[in-house]
Structure 1
Amino acid sequence: MRRKEKVYHKLKEICYDRLSLDELRNRLKIGFSAGDIADELGIARSNASRDLNSLHKEGEVIKITGKPVYFLDREFVEEVSGVMLEGEYLKFSSSKELFRNNIRHKGISNSKVRSEATKPSINPEVKSKVVSKDRLQPKFKVDLKNKPASEQGDYILANLIGNEGSLKTQVQQAQAAIIYPPNGLHTLILGPTGVGKTMFAELMHRFAIETERLTNDAPFVSFNCADYANNPQLLLSQLFGYAKGAFTGAKREKDGLIEKAEDGILFLDEIHRLPPEGQEMLFYLIDKGLYRKLGETEADRKINLLIIAATTESPESSLLRTFTRRIPMVIELPPLSERPLKERLRLIKIFFQEEAARMNATVKVTREVLRALLLYNCPGNIGQLKSDIQLCCARAFLDHLSGNEPVIKIGLDRLSSHVKEGILKIEDNRVEVRKVLKHIGDKFIVNANSDLGEGKEHVSLVEGFDNIYETLERQMVELETKGIQQQEINRLLSADIDIFFKRFLNKFKDKETAKEEELEKIVDKEIIEVAKEMLVLAEEELDRELESRILFGLAMHLSATLERIEVGKEINNPHLDEIKANHKKEFIVANKMVNLLETKVGINVPRDEVGFIAMFLYSGLEEGEEQGKVGIVVITHGSAAATSMADVANTLLNVDHAVGVDMPLERSPEEILEIVKGVVNDVEQGKGILLLVDMGSLITFGEILSKELKIPIRTVDLVSTPMVLEATRKAVFTEVTLDELAETVEDMSSFSGRLGVNKLGESETGQEEKVILAVCMTGQGSAIKLKKLITESIPLIKEKKIKVLTISINRLEKDKDYINQIMEEKDVLAIVGTFDPQVKEVPFISLQSLLARQGIKELQNLIKAKITVVNQENKEANEIYDRIEDTFNHYLKFVNPRLVLTVIKDLISKLEVSLNIRLDKEVKVGLIMHLGCTIERLIKGEEIEISEEELIEIDRIKEENKEEIKIIANKIGNIEDEFNIKFPLSELAYVMKIIKYN
């Protein structure tokens, strides 16, 4: 139960337990405060206050203003007083006002006393998350035909947004369809994607329970006909079930969804995808209430259920006329564009309220955002509206976390570009928008504390600064807890510091004329003056004018620096060597600025701080002609995965850089390759393309396109959403090269122990990751240059995805076993550089030898020798996979053979990592064949015949391998979700047997 529900139930409980009507009338006790509820539940008063105010807005509780504010359960007051409260008038200045004689003018109308308490409802999109299901069920039966309209609001459908407006007719139709004697009317719901057809059907089900047309436990069974549209026999077997022997492999009888929906509602979504023979089979059920399972030829089965179907298509063109004639009730839900703006505003408010509850924070939405959301073109209707609001909240939430701001502010900058276009329509809709927003001030606030109001001024310019040290410390802790070594942590943090400074300075980009008085609220005036002098010095030395916004950033940074020095905290800049090497002039000037700072404040400043000051100087340069970025293209099998990952990355980073290309399983690789070719040409900006792919033939696309288009392309496989997000972030916000970006993203692969990958992407060698170590005495910067030298001189390094790890002599002095640690995890081919660390097992090639080209040849020969064996094994593995797929094509009838092979190979990779094992080729082949046949068998509902001896052996395996079987069950869950099946424990044990005992 969520906190808000607990607050609601606790208020209800203590109202019934501790209050009476006389006490309320005589003002002996006028309710309970947020503090009372907080004490009862042991939660913060502010949280109780927030939830009670939210429940008041939803019409669940009465609010009596004053000091303190008191709350009463609405249902309790209505029941003990015998009067009905109108939902919009639930706020009173005192209990006297609540119960005075002219009470109806304040919103309470006389009504008959309820013999039993009916339950008032709020909008279902909010209430479903707040109120438990049993509260929606009245304790008595009501004849809706004779119930006054004022009392029909107790029912869930009557509280749907638009029930008295654009959906009035539809609500009446739905009510009529449910209560029509004897068992209701079968219904067809029409409407485009996103209008809420599924929810409307669910509300009809809940209405049927409320009016006792259905029992409390009546099922609502939902089935999307599109899921099995390509396999009509499987679709019909899912829907109607099948008899034993109905088809090959049907060894036992299986119930269908129709039987599971008995005495309830069967919801058939996308019914236009139901084949004609399926529609004809429903004729008999609709006409007679009888049906037969597939394969049954004699006895009919009697069934009592109500069918609600939905489609986005025109029924005349997509459904048999003989079928539509049997559906007496047709309800058409209008698109969002045809609904009035006041309804759209109510939806917007509710969606923001849901997000505020999810984030557990106050959300402040500007009037301009509301205008844009009211007017933008929203072809995805309510579903898209909700999604767009979620996305803008997600963007704001990231800044809320990093800035530690108490309020999440939603301005136009948080909206996607297509939503912002709504502002352009304001001139044509100004009068209507003004009317709809007349009760809303400059900002709309949801789930605010009692201390926050709509009249509260906006947060000042500099509120919520998150200094660089806190950012680095937080990320450092996160990386250390993941077991990442210090050198790798420094490398990752170095890449992120540039992003921090650019974003930090951009916070002040539109505030260059802001008054210094705002800055003085959190930074001492003395520090501001020192910052000014430091910038004057920098402008003279650099002979250029710096942006005024740098003053704000530098002053706040200096304040954090001095505080840190005073309390003895270390200042460490992992970016220092690169700053010295790449920004020499700015570093020299920053050194002089730090000397000035030390003179002014009388404190010794660590030299690492010089690097941070230098970053203000080069990060603050006015941007000239925009430089090209590495293009990001995501390609995956399936119908939506790639585009979804790209959309998430673009949305969270507020950019439009990553591009997703989906590869439906029915499309050939050749077709997709042509599509990708066009995408690569479109997104290439002169710095190359990074392809992020999942598996299989997609891994070869980069090499093919690079040769054909003459464009540098790198490919990284086993793509994930975090990988796409990180690649896009670094491509957009840093000056990273294609090779640097590819290496960074490769490090993120969650399958660090997965099989080695060949050029066709099918990994079978189990080889350790191959690396070359570049070691230099002069520091990390020199090692990086050495890395560039060998990667540019030997193309084979990039082609075979061999990593070059850079190591400074300082790192080796601190940890003499560092190279040995690397060798335990990776296959070190060679060590190159200016310093020989004397590792006997690994050849060393000096820098002088590399520059003389002799060392380049030697290193190239080492690499070729290592990969020859691997290539041969990879070739054999590909041939085996081809034979397995051919076998599956012949024997598997209910599933896509290629999909089965793909998901099983993915499972094996995950199991090798999680179980820390390496499986032999023969074991993998046996496991693939067994699991492929098992998936088909489970879909068909067949059970494997196990002898008594095998049963005893399986029990032993289960007992000896409990933890391993838990891991297998967890990893195999993706296959269960993909095919809607469940592996029994005996099957998991059999998988364990193949892995461990073969």
Structure 2
Amino acid sequence: MIMTAKDALLLQISNLYSFQDAGFTAQDCEGFVPVNRNVISHYLNRLCDEGKLVKENTRPVRFYLVNHAAGLVSANGDADEPFLTLIGSEGSLKEQVNLCRAAVNYPNGGLALLMVGESGVGKSHFANLIHRYAVHQQIIAADTTLIELNCADYANNPELLSATLFGHVKGAFTGAEKEKSGLLDLADGSYLFLDEVHRLSAENQEKLFLFMDKGYFYRLGDNSTRHTTRVRFLFATTENTNDVLLNTFRRRIPCRVVLPAFSERPMTERVALVEGFIRQEAQQLQRAIQVDVTLIQDLIASPARGNVGEVKNRIKVLCARAWSQQKTQTAGPLMLSPPGVDDRESILVAADNGRPLLRMEDVADARRLLREFVDSANLKLFSRKLEQRMQAHYPRTLEPDCDSWLHQRLQQTVTDFAERTGVQISPALRRTLILSVDYALLCTLSEEDIESLHQASLWTAQRAQMLADEFLETLHSQVTAQPLPLLTPLLHTLFHTVVEAEPLIQGVVVAHGNATASSIAGTANKLLGGYYLKAFDMPFSVDTRGIIDLLIRHLDKIKNGSGLVIMVDMGSLNDIYREIKLHLHSDLLVMNNVSTAMALDIAEKIQMRLSMQDIVDSIKGAYEVEARYYEGIGRGNKIVISCISGAGVSQKIKDILQRHLPEASDLDVVTMEYDELKWKLGRADTALNGTKLIITTTDLDAGIIPFVNVQQLLKEKSTQLWQNYFFNLLTPEQLQPLIDDIVKLFTLEGVASHLRFLNPSVVIDEVDQIIKQYELTFTLHFESYVRMTLFMHIAAMIERLMINETFHHRDSHLLAAQQQAFLHAQQDIFAPVLKKYRVELSQTESLMLYELIEPWVTF
């Protein structure tokens, strides 16, 4: 039956989106079938009519497979739910909020809950939200109030605290002239919130857990009349509960919520809290507030001892002082700045609600998008979706008085980055960069997911990765030093679209001073409109040794085979080369007394794609500086083989390599004693010039020369080996048989140790032919570790057949159709060996082989 284009489209959608909840658009499906987007939209609507898809009327329209459509309503959530007003409810406080919801919704009175955290982290605010949530869920009546008591107020009078909690009868103590109910009575049907619960005496803790257990209590002064109420409990403390609460009391509180300090909250949440408090003051004063940027940065960055509460009070005091000083100036906004600071960059906070950084549903959408990317590793699709969401959430023009502090700083970060690197930032790229930072700040992914993203972006151009590092450095100096591991792979992808993929000579400027190198390199990059020079600003206290250490760290990160030009303001050029030579991937030119004119000239030559030799020739006599040119140790063409066990194994590997190298190859294969190789590597001996790869049987510090040990050749996938070590030496088709022969070589020794009388060299060749016949018959290729397992198993099996020690315990088992097909094919594969040794293959032995090979075979 011929598959229609519509059915083919549904098949592609099912393969890609069956395990994802984010849905897809018509644009996402382009390329799935050979029709235009209008026809794809038509097919998608037809599939909706047939009940195979569900669509959501958003812009653009999103479609979902029917098994994911049920989650749409729950994903959108309840907009009136009190916890959604809490900053961080979908971020750093998500687990805490979910636990609070669970405690409230638990049947038969809910669960008691203890909040732990430093003073000012928001425990009282959480208690109010829990009460409001219970009302919202119609678990308690709407006319109930949250009853609160700070136990510290009665810490020195436990009896009075007992009377306050449980009530008292007339005459219970001096001054008790009549019976009085307590807070347990007032909280009937609602919540009782006991703050600073660690100040509760042991006796009162015992009374309270008795009530929580039994449901009744006695008033102070009366041990005979029981009183019953239905009370839900919330507790809060700043102390270690194990030290201050009785075990019996602590066990009655099953839910424990730890609230983070202000400094531990993500930066986006700190920004939102600060802006929210300033906006509250603007509403209170009925006046817009102009806030100095450094003041906001200080409020966000400072580790406030009083946490959220102290930050709120600081803002209130700052506003009060500004109001007092500027109350006669009725026109214009209220100016908020540090003492003695005038005419600085600032932002305007209006008295209305303003524009949020990102809505909570946007955060969930971002997480879904990133999960899709991790699952599919489709960078092109991800970039397109990121752009779509950027356009959906941000207007084309961002007015300064409408932006948050964070977005103003991000705008400035992008501008400074462009000035520093010379990269042309289009409006679309600017918006995408800002949204990428938002995603990285807001989304929490596992280390495994982030590593998947990072691995998926390693194909990007080296200059794209260097630009990502430049952007992160600018971001850390302008906005936040908070690590953003998720941002790195996103930036790799984005910058890959704006740089030339072809490798260029790398220029580096190193100079002492706060911004000397940045100024020189930035000027050259900006004038030439591209990223040609990397700058390193060095403190005046740093000597040549410090410059060398910095350059080594930089060189270890890059693998540029086109050449490197280092321009320094001072230092011994010979010392620099001597120390960094083992870390070089290419030719090196070192120049001192760097100037803007020199940097501009070198950058222009890089832009013109001059070779290293042409650049060296062009600078002769052009500057009154010292310049040294060093030919890279990477020139030439050779593979070095060295084995710690001796020259015998090295020679065998060399023979294998030479058999598989193309006839036209100019690669030399040489063997070298292990100690001699180590000695030459340590001195960057010229004998290693032109070494493209070193192969050894042990790990070795080979500097920048690519190095692979035999264990990797035996264990890693051939695609990985080709990408990492052989991509410029052999084609993938040439590499695979080479690896197979190396596997055979090292398997021979293992087989020899297991055989009792058969000749290992003869058997290994016969097994090799059997494995190749398996591969031809089933159209596959075994990975190296599977191949080694088969060598060992089949060789041992042949000997078992020869000495009649074969296995028969499964000979009578009924066979499935796949097993029958396998055994039938296997008779032909083993026919030459069975005929030669005059043996028969039992069904049990065949089934053992089937189980070894079955995961790799498609029947």
So what's the TM-score if we normalise by structure 2? Answer: 0.32
Tell which structure's C-alpha radius of gyration is larger: 2
So what's the TM-score if we normalise by structure 1? Answer: 0.28
